[in-house]
């Protein structure tokens, strides 16, 4: 009997709590408008960069004051609150690699029990091109490795296929006085990625991208490299190789995430140029779209075929090193210089 009475009492209490919550919920109203955030925070940012955010757009229907608070998922217990217009925040990017978000909340200052808060978020990834503790990791240095400064950035070099190859994607990008990319482009149009994934060039740009004393490799020079990596001795230029990709690929990580995350039948040895799957870019209507990350490594050659530029590429699932051709002006890929 006592058990039954207790059950009845529990049910009544639960109903009362739910009714109370519903009553409170029914009394709250939404504020007018949505948060408008003006900022220039790109998808990828570097530690130490500083950005300004301006919040606006929300009012309380009863005319009571509204304040805005900024929270960062990097350090969520710290908030910055601005109580009077203009609602301007300064955000300094921390020295912590990874994906984070900023949340801006509009709060009715004197009517918190009357209106809901309004929230808007900005998502970004902190990256670094530091050679030893940056975003690109697990590319092991070699005992005989040397580094050379090319266009103001240091690149490791490796002898392979009778040539000297850059062991990283060229990151040269020319910009105008306003900071706009005019030769080459970084991944996702984010300057922070310039020396991590390297630049993406059209075939026409790739022909002059390498510095004096270096050049864009021909497909014949790629074939010589592939034969050292296990391709058939009979392989000819403009032919896809049935093997050799594993000796080109590096088991690299980007911000702790494995890049060649799925490679059926491929043993990654990183014996030569440390290829990473940063994909490629295509242009339509003046806008570049970056695709193929974690799937493809694509490199221009100096060759042409039926009016298109010839490239070599690796796909994550196979040990093949394929050959392809694409537009000279609306397709962009990576460049490895040789000498």
User: Rounded to 5 degrees, what angle do the CA atoms 233, 237, 241 make?
Assistant: 55
The dihedral over CA atoms of 235, 241, 245, 247, expressed in degrees to the nearest 10, equals -20
Q: What are phi and psi of 54, to 5 degrees?
A: -120, 125
Q: Which residues pair with 44 in a beta bridge?
A: 125
Task: Please report the domains of the chain, with CATH numbers, ordered by start residue.
Answer: 36-126 (2.60.40.10), 136-333 (no CATH)
235-274 burial: b if 16+ Cβ within 10 Å, else e: beeebebebbbbbbbbbbbbbeeebbeebeebebebbbbb
**Confidence at residue 326, expressed as pLDDT on a 0 to 100 scale:** 98
pTM summary value: 0.89
Instruction: Identify the helix (H) or strand (E) that includes residue 280.
Output: strand 278-284
Given a contact cutoff of 8 angstroms between Cβ atoms, the answer to whether 158 and 272 are in contact is yes
Residues of the chain with pLDDT under 70: 1-26
**Confidence at residue 254, expressed as pLDDT on a 0 to 100 scale:** 98
**Confidence at residue 24, expressed as pLDDT on a 0 to 100 scale:** 47
Helix (H, G, I), strand (E, B) or coil at 334: strand
**Confidence at residue 142, expressed as pLDDT on a 0 to 100 scale:** 85
**Confidence at residue 264, expressed as pLDDT on a 0 to 100 scale:** 76
List the structure tokens of 14. 């639960």
């Amino acid at each position: 009997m006592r058990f039954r009475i207790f059950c009845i009492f529990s049910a009544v209490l639960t109903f009362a709590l739910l009714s109370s919550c519903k009553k409170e919920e029914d009394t709250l109203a939404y504020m007018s408008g949505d948060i408008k955030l003006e900022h220039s925070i790109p998808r990828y940012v570097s530690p130490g960069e500083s950005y300004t955010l301006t919040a606006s757009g929300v009012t309380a229907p009863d005319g009571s004051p509204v304040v805005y608070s900024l929270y960062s998922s990097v350090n969520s217990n710290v908030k910055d609150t601005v109580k009077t217009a203009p609602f301007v925040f300064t955000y300094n990017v921390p020295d912590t690699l990874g994906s984070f978000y900023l949340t801006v909340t509009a709060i009715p200052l004197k009517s918190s029990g009357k209106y809901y808060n309004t929230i808007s978020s900005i998502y970004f990834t902190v990256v670094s091109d530091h050679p030893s503790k940056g975003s690109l990791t697990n590319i092991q240095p070699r005992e005989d490795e040397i580094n050379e400064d090319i266009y103001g950035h240091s690149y490791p070099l490796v002898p392979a296929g009778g040539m000297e190859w850059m062991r990283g994607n060229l990151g040269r990008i020319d910009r105008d006085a306003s900071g706009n990319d005019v030769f080459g482009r970084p991944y996702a149009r984010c300057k922070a990625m310039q020396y991590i994934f390297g630049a993406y060039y059209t075939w026409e740009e790739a022909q002059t991208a390498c510095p004096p004393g270096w050049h864009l490799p021909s497909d014949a020079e790629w074939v010589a490299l592939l034969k050292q990596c296990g391709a058939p001795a009979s392989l000819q230029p403009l032919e896809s190789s049935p093997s050799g990709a594993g000796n080109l690929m590096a088991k690299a990580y980007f911000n702790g995430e494995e890049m060649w995350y799925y490679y059926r039948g491929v043993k990654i040895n990183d014996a030569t140029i440390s290829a990473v799957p940063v994909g490629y870019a295509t242009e339509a209507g003046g806008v570049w779209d970056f695709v193929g990350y974690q799937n493809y490594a694509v490199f221009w050659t100096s060759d042409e075929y039926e009016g298109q530029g010839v490239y070599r590429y690796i796909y994550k699932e196979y040990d093949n090193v394929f050959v392809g051709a694409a537009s000279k002006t609306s397709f962009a890929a990576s460049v490895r210089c040789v000498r």
